[in-house]
Amino acid sequence: MKGAIYFISKYGSTAQYANWIGNASGLPVRCVNNSNVDPMAYDFLVIASPVVFGKLLIGEWVKDNLAAIDGKPVIMVTVSGPQLDPDLDTWLGDSLPPELVSRMKHIALRGRRVFRNLTWYDRLMLRVEAMRARDQSARKEKLEDFDFVDKSCIYPVENLAREMQLSKAAHPHILS
């Protein structure tokens, strides 16, 4: 089967993962900010998005392209904070159509944050979140830099993509 990687990135971690996955799997990598990113031409998709303040940045693009995505196997890659948040499944459900969430395979990867490189709005939002945090360590964590971007983390995505490439027809049960 023919597949592609579609991604959006805000600060670069998701783009880095998408390019690593593309290089490892041989799949073309497409940034959804470009106008020529039609998912209709592919049998399966790897969709990668950062999670920013509880929302997947790629959510609107997915909704706008749902007709082209519908019925295809989807590997959803999310990139977020220093640890996997227990609310991640809720955020997926809030950001993506339920018919996609129920059938996609989700792989969560940890990201990177360099506080001085954030937009003023993102810095402000993190400061507000830090003030709301219940304990001192949580407050401190909201304002610290971290870098957990790790190429070895892409192997589950790479393996699923290879399984899809080797399939002769769309088999959504492979992703179950």
| Stretch(es) of the chain classified as CATH 3.40.50.360 | 3-111+148-170
Query: Residue by residue, what is the 3-state secondary structure of 133-153?
Result: CCCHHHHHHHCCCEECCCHHH
CA-to-CA distance for 116 and 113, rounded, in angstroms?
9
Q: Quick check: 113 and 141 in contact, CB under 8 A? A: no
What CATH class is the domain 3-111+148-170? alpha beta
Amino acid at 12: G
Give the pLDDT confidence of 6-65 residue by residue, as tens digits: 999 999 999 999 999 999 999 999 999 987 778 999 999 999 999 999 899 999 999 999
pTM for the predicted model, two decimal places: 0.89
In the prediction, which pLDDT does 85 show?
Answer: 76
Amino acid at 134: R
